Structure 1
Amino acid sequence: MSLQDKLDRQEYDEVWSQYCGFLDLSMEEYMAIQRRLMTEQIQLWSGCMLGQSILKGKKPATIEEFRRMVPLTSYEDYADILLRKNASMLPDNPVIWIQTTWEGGRHPIKLAPYTRSMLDTFRDNVVACLILSTSRKKGSFNVDKTDKVLYGLAPLPYATGLFPLALNEAIDIKFLPAVKDAVNMSFSERNKLGFKMAMQQDVEYFFGLGSVAYAVSQSLSQMGGKAKLKPADLLKFRPDMLLRIARAKSRCKKENRPLKPKDLFHLKGFMVAGTDNRCYKDDLEELWGVRPMELFAGTEPSIIGTETWTRNGMYFFPDTCFYEFLPIADTIRLMDEPDYTPRTYLMDEVVPGEIYEIVLTVLKGGAFARYRVGDTYRCVGLSSREDGTSIPRFEYVDRVPAIIDIAGFTRISEQGIQNVLDLSGLPVVGWVALKEYTAENRPYFHLYVEVEKSEFLNRAVNTQVLRDLLTTYFKYTDQDYRDLKKILGMDPLKVTILRSGSFAEYCAAHGRPPRHMNPDNYAMEALLQNQRAGTWRPGRR
């Protein structure tokens, strides 16, 4: 029986139990589900050619053996098979392939196969997110088949395009604009049409990347404030929406402030996905009058976790992936020692306050095993009196230190930065890159470079020139980087030119150069301690 059928029959307790009952699991019950599904997955994965390409003849019989025999993996371990869509080598038959960016300009795309069982799990967990986005306490929710969703995410073949398809298998909720129309529109066209339709018909949900939701919300405020209704369009508006628009404009004029989305809409639920959501949540709540509920999903693992009515940490669905946790100290050590074999911890072994890189084995016939998807989480508690839960909850921290992700759009890597510097032709002596934040808590990409001292440098190069030059090359090599400006209006690069000799002095003092990507505070202090010394003093943007 579908969600819509159960709602029609007013079986609300049954709906909550089916989709959100995982929140009532004890730790022992949670791990029992994890172990049962993982045991099934081991048999499927170990017996297929993809699994054997990594196991090399080994046959694990237990979860413990599997964790010993299968190394931590990355997409490179699967690329030859998955990029050719070689279904005969996979654990189970894929019914759809999902796509995402791999690594800027270095690798074009990643592909991930989804089986029918994976899609069924995805559907049920998307419904759980929808329900929880409307919930104000355990067991309560407000979902109706006449609801409408303002949708700010990319369509298929990207993973976010699965959301409307999966949800519509359970309930006939309407998307603004309709999915069949949205796939043929640009991002700007989808937003404008979606907002126009929302003003005419009202809207109950908004779902998007946190950064995109913020950009869209700003444009909605501008569009709503300037909207002038033509007589021919009035028949398309619900009478109550016309009255609401008139009252909102009058109130904003009286209060001498710009129109906000909350003046026009009263959302039941607001969902955000992606990275850097913490940078936008407070502003989004102010704009919409509803605190966004964060969920987390990815191309390879699908949807894995969601917050609840408290908006105080995410819980991982027990039936999507088998979860292992790698302490962040070991993640950093692996950057310097790739042959190091760290220990991972299971869900019933995590420690509150610790930051972990998540390691995933996709269940239900998935392709990825002990996979480093590249995301870090902090465990914020092993239970919650407020939520009434007895399982761990987490907050998303960021991508792993080897990657700089800005607003959910980019995957800037060491190799990607080096490629840009090589293309620029500049005589770069050394560089480090950090993800930093403005005073307004907006993320940016800060590149510290030392350029060989020369007559050319003294005549032509300062921080602004260097920044403009490198920005051109980043946009040339990386479509996602271009989209930061095109979609979000964001120009994320800041450049600081380091004093001549900075890297040589660091190497002399420490025996090796600093890590290129997100070096620690100690390394940065060492590089910058003599920034004002010397005869040549570069400007700083």
Structure 2
Amino acid sequence: MKFEDKLKMQQYDRLWQEYCGFLDLDIDSYMQIQYRLMLEQISLWSESELGKQMLKGKQPKTIDEFRKSVPLTTYIDYADVLLQKKGDMLPDQPIIWIQTTWEGGKHPIKLAPYTKSMLETYRNNVLACLMLSTSTEKGKFNVRATDKFLYALAPLPYATGLFPLALNDEISIEFLPPVKEAVKMSFGERNKKGFKLGLRKGIDFFFGLGSVAYYVSLSLSSMGRDQSKASGSSTGGSSKSLFRYSPSMLLRFALAKYRCKKEGRDLKPKDLFKLKGFMCAGTDNHCYKDDLEDLWGIRPMELFAGTEPSCIGTETWTRNGMYFFPDTCFYEFIPEDEMNKSLDDSSYQPKTYLMNEVVPGEKYEIAISVLKGGAFVRYRVGDVYRCVGLESSEDKTRIPRFQYVDRIPTIIDIAGFTRISEHSIRSVVELSGLAIENWIAVKEYNKNNRPLLHMYVEMNLESLVSSAISKEILREHLGVYFKYVDHDYKDLKHILGMDPLEITILKCGTFEEYKRQTGKTLRHINPSSYEIMELLRIEQQDFRVTRGRGV
């Protein structure tokens, strides 16, 4: 029986238990599910050609043996098989292949296979997210087959393209604009069409990257102001160019205008639409959640989904931490100090802990083994979480919950769009031809709490003598090459209107002096805030500049 059929029969308790029942598990019951499914996956994976190739003759029978036999993996360990779509080498036959960026400027794309069982699990967990996004307490949700969903998702072959397909298998929710039309439209065209249809039919759900959702929300506010003016004009000329107003729409605009005028503020989406559920995913959601809540009148529920791991976690009605679904992946957690050791020494194998061993307050890099015939085992996704608790009196849960922190320190992800690495920036610096002697790059946040890429650079002494180079010139010049090397970086400007690059030019010799005084070499990507403060302190000192310096 489909989800929609159970809704029509008002089997609400059954639906809650079926899709959100994992929230009632204690940690022992949770781990029983993890162990059972992982043992099944070990059997499947070990018998596959991919597994045999990576195990090199070993035959682990238990989870402990498996963790000792298989080192932590990254995409490079799978690339030769997956990029050629060698499905016959995998634990189960893929039904669909999902695509994402691997690393801008170095590798083009990553491909991830999804089996039939993986897609079934994804569908069930997406439905759980849909229910929880409308929930105000345990057991209560508000989903109907007649609901309308604003489309703000990247289409297939990207992972978010699975979302409408999974829902449409179970419930007749209408996407605005329809998915078949939306995938053929530009980003701006989808916004306008979705707004137009939303005014006619209403909008019940909204889901997107936090940064994209914010940009779309501002666009809707702007379109709403334009149409509000048009609806109130005597000629109505501009309104005819979009659609003919119904009495209910005119009333909605009139009430919105009155409310905004009374409160002395601009029009916001919440003045025109009343969302039941609001979901966001991706990095930097903490930068946008408060503003999105103000714009829509409902706080977004954060979920976590990725190309390789699928949909793995969701917040609940408290919006206070994500819970990982026990049937999507087998989870291992690398403590922050172990993560840093392995990033500094690629030969070092960090220790990992299981879900029943995490400690509140600690940050962890996650490693996943995809269940239900997935290809990835002990796979370092590149994401860092903080455990915020082992149980919750608010949610009445007895399993750990997590807060998404960011990508691992060697990657700078801006608003969910980029994967900027040391290699990416080296390529940009070399292609630019600028006489940059030394540099570090740090992810920071501006006064409006928006993410940015801050480069601290030291120019060649001779170049400074021969020409006047300002940070504005550097910013403009480097920005061109970032867009050339990393197409996702270009989308920040094209889609979100963001230009995240900031430049600080340091005095010649600062990096050499830092090394002399501290005895350490700075990591090029995301050194600690303490190290940056020390670098800036040293830069203010009066020291002798020597030739032939370098870090």
| Fold shared, TM-score > 0.5 on shorter chain | yes
Indicate which of 492, 496, 505 corresponds to 2:500. 492
Q: CA deviation at 1:273?
A: 0.5
Query: How many residue pairs were aligned?
Result: 537
Report the Cα offset of residue 195 of structure 1.
1.0
List per-residue Cα deviations over 1:335-379 (Å, max 9, x = no partner): 211111221000000000000001000000111010110111100
Indicate yes or no: 2:528 matched with 1:528: no
- Deviation, 1:513, is 1.7
Amino acid across the alignment from 2:305: A
Paired residue secondary structure (2:507) = coil
For 1:33, what is the secondary structure of its paired residue?
helix
Mapped to 1, the partners of 2:459 and 2:47 lie a distance apart of 53
Is the 8 Å Cα contact of residues 499 and 530 (structure 1) preserved in structure 2?
A: no
Counterpart of 1:437 in structure 2: which amino acid? Y
**Could you tell me which of 480, 484, 507 is aligned with 1:476?**
484
Q: Cα–Cα, structure 1 residues 237 and 72, in superposed 2: closer, same or farther, change >3 Å? A: farther
Matching residue of 2:131: 131
What is the CA-CA distance between 1:460 and the residue it aligns to? 2.9
Per the alignment, do residues 234 and 250 of structure 1 end up closer, same or farther by CA in structure 2, a change over 3 Å counting?
farther
1:454 corresponds to which residue? 462
* 1:330 partnered with 2:338: yes
TM-fit CA distance, 1:238: 5.8
Is residue 438 from structure 1 mapped to residue 446 from structure 2 by the alignment? yes
Q: Partners in 1 of 2:456 and 2:488 — Cα distance?
A: 22
Cα distance change on mapping 1:31 and 1:455 into 2, 3 Å = closer
1:517 to 505, 525, 534: 525
Preserved contact between residue 301 and residue 315 of structure 2 (Cα < 8 Å) = yes
Measured after TM superposition, the shift of residue 237 of structure 1 is 5.7
| 1:22 shift after superposition | 0.3
- Give the CA deviation at 1:332: 1.2
Q: SS at 1:249's partner residue?
A: helix
After superposition, the Cα gap between the structure-2 partners of 1:238 and 1:83, relative to the gap in structure 1 and judged at 3 Å, is farther
Classify the secondary structure of the residue corresponding to 1:530: helix
* Mapped contact 1:201–1:237 kept (Cα < 8 A): no
> Match of 1:286?
294
The Cα offsets for residues 250-273 of structure 1, whole Å up to 9 and x where unpaired, read as 322343321100000111000001
Corresponding position of 2:29? 29
For 1:397-408, list aligned pairs within 5 A.
Answer: 397-408=405-416
Residues 457 and 271 (structure 1 numbering): CA distance in 2 closer, same or farther, change over 3 Å? farther
| Structure 1 contact 378–394 (Cα < 8 Å) conserved | yes
Which of 250-259 and 312-321 deviates more?
Answer: 250-259
Deviations 1:113-153 (A, max 9, x none): 00000000000000000000000000000000000101211
Alignment partner, residue 175 of structure 1: 175
Which structure 2 residue ranges, 5 or more long, are not aligned? 546-551
Q: CA RMSD in A?
A: 1.7
Residues 514 and 538 in structure 2, CA contact (< 8 A), matched pair in contact too: no
- CA distances 1:150-203 after superposition (whole Å, capped 9, x unpaired): 121101010000000001111110001111011111111111111111011111
Query: Are the equivalent residues in 2 in contact too, given 1:200–1:236 (CA < 8 A)?
Result: no
Partner SS for 2:258: helix
Identity of aligned residues (%): 64
Query: How many Å apart are 1:442 and its aligned residue?
Result: 0.9
- d(CA) in 2 for partners of 1:471, 1:433: 14
1:52 CA displacement: 2.2
2:257 is the counterpart of 1:249: yes
Contact 1:60 1:66 (C-alpha < 8 Å) held by counterparts: yes
Unaligned runs of 5+ in 1: none
Aligned to 2:145: 145
How far apart in 2 are the matches of 1:509 and 1:338? 27
What's the secondary structure of 2:467's corresponding residue?
Answer: helix
Q: CA contact under 8 A between 2:138 and 2:395: conserved in structure 1? A: yes
Say which of 291, 298, 309 aligns to 2:306. 298
What one-letter code is carried by the residue in structure 2 that aligns with 1:322? F
332-341 vs 399-408, greater mean Cα deviation = 332-341
8 Å Cα contact 2:105-2:423 kept in structure 1: no
Q: Is the 8 A contact 2:151 2:182 kept in 1?
A: no
Q: Which amino acid aligns with 2:54?
A: I
Q: Deviation at 1:498?
A: 1.5
Displacement of 1:531 in angstroms is: 2.1
Alignment TM-score, normalising by the size of structure 2: 0.95
CA distance in 1, matches of 2:22, 2:190: 35
Measured at CA, do residues 536 and 512 of structure 1 come closer, stay the same or move farther in structure 2, by a change above 3 Å?
closer
2:67 corresponds to which residue? Answer: 67
